[in-house]
Amino acid sequence: MRKIDQPEFTAAEVFSTCISKVRNKDLKKRFQAVIPYITSAEEEYRKLATESKLYTFSDELCSNTNVTLEEMKAVYTQRMANSGGPGYETYNALKRGTINRTCPICGQRKVSTLDHYLPKTSYPSVVVTPINLIPACSDCNKIKLDDDPQTSEEETLHPYFDDLGSDRFLLAEIIKDNPPVVNFYIHPPVEWDKVLTEKVKNHFDSFKLNLLYSIHAIDEIVGQAEYWKQLNTKDLKDQLALQAESRRKAHPNSWQTAFYEGASQDDWFCSEGYKKFIE
Ligand SMILES: [Zn+2]
């Protein structure tokens, strides 16, 4: 759940590059005729994305022009995402648009593909539009396939448009179970509006981030437990609080920030609870 910078390429530039090696004269002519539609679709997309209203985006490209959905999808799959295609350089440049190749959707796994925020099966006019192409890990990309929002609240976060700033919204708690559980949850600041709050919660649930973060947190506990055993409870609490502060400065809503903060505040976890994860 991380904001990333918007790409500098325009949709018309990328589309023109992708169709630059089309040999069939009829197809090339038909593709060139859709460029103005692609530019206006990009403008409409930008406006709706800013208002969290992309679920209302209506795509009439194939009804208003002489290209088919299959031809448009192939511009992406064969001429952009394919290593032999003229758009492949742009495809790779977009994939590199995150910090340390981290997927902005989950904030954990590494980028391996581009995800169409509005899917290419239904939205031909934005099939190669850079602001619709999110660098993503393959797991987030696959989960996204089922997504069909009908309201702003049902949308997931858009990494090019949704800026959550430095507000803390991801927290974690230790649940005394057998075995114990690290539970992550969304606790938005009171000043957030309802749409943003619901959108973040929906994003967190849709991409199954609690499960992802819990698994990583348990790995962390197992890896650190022998070291923690050398510390008394107070020193361990202090160490975990220092870790939380360091992690918070790196990223306020990483699972590590939430985990270390939650763990440092839990007396049971710091005295004996962490040992239950390795028994
Ligand atoms: Zn991901």
Q: What is the 3-state secondary structure (H, E, C) of 74-140?
A: HHHHHHCCCCCCCCHHHHHHHHCCCHHHECCCCCCCECCEEEECCCCCCCHHHCCCHHHEEEECHHH
Above 80 in pLDDT, residue 102? yes
Above 70 in pLDDT, residue 267? yes
Give pLDDT, residue 147.
66
Q: How far is the CA of 85 from the centre of ligand 1 (A)?
A: 26
Give pLDDT, residue 51.
93
Q: How far is the CA of 213 from the centre of ligand 1 (A)?
A: 12
Alpha-carbon torsion (162, 166, 209, 194), positive or negative: negative
Q: How far is the CA of 100 from the centre of ligand 1 (A)?
A: 13
**Using one digit for the tens of pLDDT, what is the confidence trace for 180-189?**
999 999 999 9
**Using one digit for the tens of pLDDT, what is the confidence trace for 35-48?**
999 999 999 999 99
**Using one digit for the tens of pLDDT, what is the confidence trace for 113-161?**
999 999 999 999 999 999 999 999 999 999 876 667 889 888 999 999 9
Q: How far is the CA of 203 from the centre of ligand 1 (A)?
A: 11
- Which residue do the tokens 């927290």 mark? 171
Domain boundaries, the chain: 11-146, 170-276
Quickly state the pLDDT bin for 264 (edges 50, 70, 90).
very high
Q: How far is the CA of 49 from the centre of ligand 1 (A)?
A: 20
Q: What is the CA radius of gyration of the chain?
A: 22
**CA separation for the pair 213, 235 (Å, rounded):** 25
Give pLDDT, residue 56.
95
Tokens of 239: 């160490």
Q: How far is the CA of 24 from the centre of ligand 1 (A)?
A: 38
Q: How far is the CA of 149 from the centre of ligand 1 (A)?
A: 19
Whether the Cβ atoms of residue 18 and residue 45 lie closer than 8 Å to each other = no
Report the SS3 class of residue 57: coil
**Using one digit for the tens of pLDDT, what is the confidence trace for 160-212?**
999 888 889 999 999 998 889 999 999 999 999 899 999 999 999 999 999 99
Give pLDDT, residue 165.
83
Cα 243 versus chain centre, distance: 25
Q: How far is the CA of 65 from the centre of ligand 1 (A)?
A: 35
Above 90 in pLDDT, residue 60? yes
User: Is the peptide bond preceding residue 179 cis, with omega within 30 degrees of 0?
Assistant: yes
Give pLDDT, residue 177.
86
Give pLDDT, residue 148.
76
174 bridge partner residues: 182
Q: How far is the CA of 31 from the centre of ligand 1 (A)?
A: 33
135 bridge partner residues: 114
Give pLDDT, residue 200.
95
Tokens of 144: 């996204």
DSSP 13: H
Q: How far is the CA of 246 from the centre of ligand 1 (A)?
A: 23
- Which residue do the tokens 């992550």 mark? 184
Q: How far is the CA of 244 from the centre of ligand 1 (A)?
A: 23
Mention every residue, 6+ apart, whose C-beta is less than 8 A from residue 169. Answer: 186, 187, 188, 189, 192, 200, 253
Give pLDDT, residue 145.
61
